[in-house]
Amino acid sequence: MLHKIQAEKFGSRGEGMAHAVEACVHCGFCLPTCPTYLTMGEEMDSPRGRIFLMKEVLEGNLSVDQAAPYVDRCLGCLACETSCPSGVRYGHLISPYRAYAQKNRKNNLFQKTFRWLLMESLPHPGRFRFLLQMAVFSRPLQGLLPRMLRSPLSLLPKTIPKEDDLPEIFPAKGDQRARVALLTGCAQQVLAPEINRATLRVLSENGVEVVIPKSQGCCGALAMHLGEVERAKISARKNLEVFENAGPLDAIVTNAAGCGSGLSEYRDLFHGEPEEERAKNLFALVQDVSLFLHNLGLKKPSGWPEPRKIAYHDACHLSHAQGVREAPRELLRSIPNLILMEPLEWEVCCGSAGTYNLEHPETADLLGQRKAKNLADTGADAVATGNIGCLVQVRNQLEKTGSNIHVFHTMQILEEAYRNGA
């Protein structure tokens, strides 16, 4: 599409935004995989519609506030990038655009407070745990709360898992084949510490020594996606330093897709800034744990005595943002007696999308129900996925439909498959 965006007016990432607009030919191939277009059926809530709107704002024809309702509703799942034949890098447009919009929009006090609360709690395990405990304690009162505050509560586990202090080094079993660092993921470590435990055991089983730097912090993805660039940069600088000091590494592995793509986005975050080179070096090392294990060559698990049907749910930040689709499937297929099931609409977001299900509960519910149905229709006994956000969302949505299908992280399934042979 032709445009009159003056890229230089928008800082170091202006050029990337302009390129994304240029590359869009408005063909509409993105529409069938866009979760908001699928649920709303209107052009403003589609990728090409949003590109058009952002272009209009960047050209000065529309105000940030006029476009805000539609741009805000984007889940940032990037399914449009996967389906785009002309190679539009939508992520290169929406992320910097949100940062620009955040600075130039009218204040919405309620939203601002809510976002501040999220950013001050979720990335800090101590505070997040405290908040969760308060919330679980106050659950009987939740009927009195407005919808926006009720929805986060409905996503909570029945009980908060016990705090799990991870060791600084988790040794490899047998001959050491590799040494990696693990990003533990802030919300994940509080909500489901068993995922990191399973990851450590699976890596160890495969001869991988894992370093878990104590001083690591939030990857910054949450702030990035809410357009809070400066806050994201503070997190990013800290992590750059922490992982640079973690000794020789074959990889920095992540097991939460959102965090993995967050680390990968450091390159763009620091584009044209002094940290750019370091961010690139970090990016070269970042790998989702499933891809890392697949490339390393997985030690054959013993599997189960009886066949089990497992449906794989693609986390958007793994499949679309990081392009990892086959590796986790290959790992699962290598488990004897595991029958891998494929749901319809693999590319459509489940509605979790970071904090989306907290900010837009209605849309998130529609998408969650759609996903739950597609997963249940496979006839699977359990679901495997690679992201804590999806895991919580899909589990809740399945429960709502009365289904008893359990949802696990891919690493938990692998761990069990190893344990069975032990």
Partner 1 sequence: MKDRAALIKDLGRIFPPDRLLDSSAQLAPYESDGLTCFRSRPSAVVLAETQEEVIQTVRWCYQHSVPFMARGSGTSLSGGSVPVADGVVIALNRLSRIVQLDPVERTVTVEPGVVNLKVSEVAAPYNLYYAPDPSSQQICTIGGNLAFNSGGAHCLKYGMTSNHVLGIKAVLPDGEVVHFGGPSLESAGPDLTGFYCGNEGLFGVALEVVLRLLPKPEFFRTVMAAYDSMEAAGNAVTRIVSSGLLPGALEIMDRLAIKAAEAAVQAGYPKDAAAILIVELDGEKDAVESDYIRLSALINETGANTVIVARDTVERMKIWKGRKSAFSAVGRLSADFIVQDGVVPRARLGEALAEIERLSNIYNLRVANVFHAGDGNLHPLILYDGREEGALERAEELAGKIIKLCISMGGSITGEHGVGLEKKAYLPEMFSPVDIETMERVRAQIDPKFISNTGKMLPGGEAPALVIRGLHPLEKEGILSRE
138 binds partner 1 (CB under 8 A): no
407 binds partner 1 (CB under 8 A): no
Q: What is the DSSP annotation of 182-219?
A: EE--HHHHHH-HHHHHHHHHHHHHTTEEEE--TT----
The nearer residue to partner 1, 67 or 282, going by C-beta atoms, is: 67
Return the residue of 6, 66, 108, 154 that touches partner 1, per CB under 8 A: 66
Residue numbers 74-133 binding partner 1 by CB under 8 A = 84-88
62 binds partner 1 (CB under 8 A): yes
Return the residue of 26, 139, 300, 406 that touches partner 1, per CB under 8 A: 26
Distance CA 208, CA 176 (A): 6
Q: Please enumerate in sequence order all residues whose Cβ is within 8 A of that of 169, keeping only pairs 6 or more positions apart, or say none.
A: 209, 210, 211, 212
Give min distance, CB of 36 to partner 1, in A.
Answer: 12
The nearer residue to partner 1, 51 or 240, going by C-beta atoms, is: 51
Return the residue of 24, 132, 291, 324 that touches partner 1, per CB under 8 A: 24
Return the residue of 6, 8, 28, 176 that touches partner 1, per CB under 8 A: 28
User: Is the distance from CB of 238 to CB of 217 less than 8 angstroms?
Assistant: yes
Q: In degrees, to the nearest 5, what angle opens at C-alpha 32 toward C-alphas 29 and 36?
A: 120
Query: Which backbone phi and psi does 211 adopt, to 5 degrees?
Result: -100, 135
Return the residue of 35, 49, 185, 303 that touches partner 1, per CB under 8 A: 49
User: Is the distance from CB of 261 to CB of 323 less than 8 angstroms?
Assistant: no
Distance CA 279, CA 389 (A): 25
Give min distance, CB of 103 to partner 1, in A.
Answer: 19
Q: In degrees, to the nearest 5, what angle opens at C-alpha 121 toward C-alphas 143 and 372?
A: 55
Give min distance, CB of 317 to partner 1, in A.
Answer: 22
Return the residue of 15, 22, 276, 330 that touches partner 1, per CB under 8 A: 22
Give min distance, CB of 138 to partner 1, in A.
Answer: 34
The nearer residue to partner 1, 84 or 203, going by C-beta atoms, is: 84
Q: What is the DSSP annotation of 291-315?
A: HHHHHH-PPPP---SS-EEEEEE--
The nearer residue to partner 1, 86 or 154, going by C-beta atoms, is: 86
27 binds partner 1 (CB under 8 A): yes
In the stretch 29-48, what mask flags binding to partner 1 with x, by CB under 8 A?
x-xx--------xxxx-x-x
- Of 360, 348, 358, whose CA–CA distance to 320 is shortest? 348
Give min distance, CB of 98 to partner 1, in A.
Answer: 16
Residue 217's region, left for phi above 0, alpha for psi from -120 to 50, else beta, is: beta
Give min distance, CB of 381 to partner 1, in A.
Answer: 25
Distance CA 195, CA 253 (A): 13
Q: Is 13 helix (H, G, I), strand (E, B) or coil?
A: helix
Stretch that binds partner 1, among 52-60, 186-194, 219-227, 373-381 (CB under 8 A): 52-60
Return the residue of 58, 67, 195, 310 that touches partner 1, per CB under 8 A: 67
The nearer residue to partner 1, 42 or 273, going by C-beta atoms, is: 42
Which one-letter amino acid corresponds to residue 387?
A: N
Distance CA 148, CA 245 (A): 41
Stretch that binds partner 1, among 19-27, 100-108, 129-137, 160-168 (CB under 8 A): 19-27
For partner 1, the binding residues (CB under 8 A) are 1-3, 22-29, 31-32, 41-44, 46, 48-50, 52-53, 56, 61-62, 66-67, 69-70, 84-88
